[in-house]
Amino acid sequence: GENVEQHPSTLSVQEGDSAVIKCTYSDSASNYFPWYKQELGKRPQLIIDIRSNVGEKKDQRIAVTLNKTAKHFSLHITETQPEDSAVYFCAARPTGRRALTFGSGTRLQVQP
């Protein structure tokens, strides 16, 4: 089955800096890669996703890049703000399967 590895497990940045979180996946058939943000005590919220026919996608300060050859994808947050502090999860889903396989999460702390 699919295996997703996520790094780093914790990340501390100064407000205004950029943050990058990286994930690798094992199943070459995976074609959908969402990113979720989970604040303490709250539900995971989808922040951005990318399909395998796209190499990069941006939404304001957030961007995701996908390298299918290397089987990795990354989340980039620019101009970080304290409200970006949360746990971020990457996930992958192979074609023909519905279940998302999640990475272990990255705790991002943005220092004001």
- Residues of this chain that bind other proteins (CB under 8 A): 31-32, 34, 36, 42-46, 49, 51, 89, 91, 93-105
- Toward other proteins, which CB reaches closer, 10 or 111? 10
Smaller CB distance to other proteins: residue 36 or 74? 36
Residues 6+ apart with CB under 8 A from 85: 39, 108, 109, 110
* Residue 16 Rama label (left phi>0; alpha psi -120 to 50; beta): left
Q: How far is the CB of 58 from other proteins (least distance, A)?
A: 17
